[in-house]
Structure 1
Amino acid sequence: MSIDARTPWSLRRRLLGAILAASAVLWLASLGTLTAIAWQETGEVFDDALEESAYMLMAATTDLEARGLLARQNPLEGDEVRRVDMQYQIVVGNQVVQRTAGAPGRPFVGAFDDDHGFVDLLVDDDRWRVFVVRDEARRFEVQVGQRAEKRFDILEELADALWLPVLGFFLLLAFVVWWLTGRVLAPLHRTAQAIAAKTPEDLARVDAQGQPRELLPIITALNGVLGRLDAALQAERRFTADAAHELRTPLAGLHMHVQLLQRQHPDLSAPFRKLRTDIGRLTALVDSLLTLARLDPLARAQLAGQEVALRPLFETLQAEYADEAARRGITLALRCEIGTLQADPQMLGIVLRNLVGNALRYCPAGSRVEVEAVHHGGRDRIAVRDDGPGVDEASRRRLTERFFRVLGTEEGGSGLGLSIVKRIAELHGAKLAFGPGLDGRGLGVTLDWPPSHGTVLTARRRPEANQ
């Protein structure tokens, strides 16, 4: 079905027209089939009637003593029982002088006053329909009767012959209507798919061109909602980005002033150290908010994806966190079995720093943290696992919620790190999952990248640890 995309069309009219057209075509086809079957069946009935008439005419023109009709009560051997089964009597003076074997011995109709006519009557508990005709001189009359059940037999034969074609046409009509309604309602499914594909990053208007008239009010209202929602999200992102950007400079200045005051007043070193820590947490929060504000409006097609060499990135990560791992008494091991990975290099660095930083922050002294890049199930996997206190199942499902932090931890944090990891994973089409860590303890975070053509290094374990 071709649809003019320039003008709206009526879904109701198209559906009505399709069903009516299909019904008319199938009705004409079924009528022709039924007519052919009925013609064949009625032809057989009339042929039998003609045959019966021939027998009656032969009997009527035969000498009464030579007829022998009264003696032949049963059909001759080999004769078929004719489905019309008409019986006749010749009545003279209210006495039956000649009859067929199936007719009663007394007249069907007694004291018939008209010259001819039909009479419905009951004879020996059988219902008959009888036609009576008198000769002009009223010397005798002929009465021809047929049992009513024989007429129903003909209807039953017709029904037996017609039920299968009727059922076939009904099923065909049901299939055609189902197919036509599917074709006509296809725009509904396409529109539903277009709406379901909408994300906070894609709030573009749903195209109203080529849509049926019945959907236009819904699409118009939905486009209005999408427009308002997009404007609200854009305003929120601009506010977050502007606020975070404006806060970075005064926070940096405040940090420098605290350092200066700490040198000038060494006796207040402890309070100033606490103040510097709080300023550092606030600065990290502002940086996270600014990062999210930059990531939220991005689409996957906008990523500056390239082949990122993972081993140099792992070595840089090792150098950055060596001192912190040693200070906390945590073993940090890295294993890289993948040469390159298709990703945005800056975002991949943010992911690794967030995951490793979280693991070091929340694991107690003596714990192990392992970072690996391996092939798993046809995908490139980056995993960060530890054997620390871990996270319960209920909290794991909320780890990527913004500003969510697991209760009972003494370490500070903004609760935005894993939200940033989740957003970067979405932009890269990667699957983020949480599970048990090392030896069934702690927390394990895995990122399965989509299949790519990155290079593979020789699989060898190369732990680089810091105590």
Structure 2
Amino acid sequence: MTSIRLKLIASLLAVLLLAALALGGATYRNALLETQALFDYQLKQMALSLRDQGEIPPGSANAEHDFVVQIWSADGRALYASRAHAAVPTRAVLGFADVEAGGQTWRTYSVATFGRVIQVAQPRQIRERLAADAAWRAVLPLLLLAPLLGLAVWWLVAHALAPLARVSREVRSRDAESLAPLSAEGLPEEVAPLVGSLNALLQRLGAAFDTQRAFVADAAHELRSPLTALKLQVQMLRRAPDEAARAEAVAALAAGVDRATRLVEQLLTLARNEPGSREPARQPLDLGALVRQALADSGTLAVARGSTLELDAQPGVRVRGDSAGLAALARNLADNALRHGPPGTVVKVIVAREGDEAVLSVDDDGPGIPEAERAQAFDRFWRREAAHGGSEAAGGSGLGLAIVRGVVQRHGGTVQLATSPLGGLRVVCRLPALPPSIDEP
């Protein structure tokens, strides 16, 4: 984990160092150019002055800047040298020239006059040293300011991050049940979006926890009734006076176990399709074939209730989805229509393609649901007394349509309730369809 404060200070010092290096380099270059021009001018003026005077005045050489004067005759014989024993250039090139002598580079200016050659020379390192001194004088104040700037940045960053530290302390001091929004008062513009996102997350978590608590409470309430019934049926079985009464009690107990099992299975299916639960693997599926296989499980219920279950599936209707979830969708639609209608109910399931949508619709000729109550029908554990032996008498749990809505929404589709042409309820589920040529995930 990195520290913003240390990162900013390190970045500032790095920028400061680069600026100092750039300033020093620029200063050195400019100073070197200026000293070159100045000393070249002096070299030339000294040589021309000696040429015009015709004699060598005392102190012609400048000891401060290491100027050296040499004069040769026309045949190359040395006539004068301001430093007789110094390692100085031994040849002259008319005009300006850089000459190597004595392990260093000399800058020279030579002029010919009256059968003589006059040369004024200066070591180049004098110029480079003066340029380096100028660059160092420019950089030194920045280097001296670096610690002060580091402390100033440390304080400024600490002051700027104080609201974030306050938010951190507030979050750290909360318990697991505290999901109230964090205060955004006094936060910098750059930090406010982070706190806003955290508050949105806390709001979603609060809603999810509320939903979970309500779900657990409702589930506990719904399970209490079948478990109590099972307990009573066991007591009746124990008290059965004869074989006929015992057989009747066993049948009632088995039916109660079936109802409790179905309720638990529906609760698990609903939990798997809750928002935020783990997303199952999806693959291309033939919706008609999947629905046909799922409805095989509902055939037994249709026979037991003397009802008719029909399937009209258009071939080649394909979707990308979770096979278990879509099978539960089809099964719950058929079971709802069969259980909430009277014996002899006709249930028709249709799978078709409409444009870029796969449509699964279920029609029945049962009592249906009034339009005013259809919005509530998708709520968990919502029941409505059905006519002619439906609803709880048939073992309804009030979870079927809630499961349908959860599965459809997780597949990016929509579900609607309407009046069926058969006279009962029509449930229409629309899912994104795959092109017929898509065969692989």
Q: With structure 2 as the length reference, what TM-score do the two structures score?
A: 0.47
Bigger RCO of structures 1 and 2 (CA < 8 A, at least 6 apart): 1
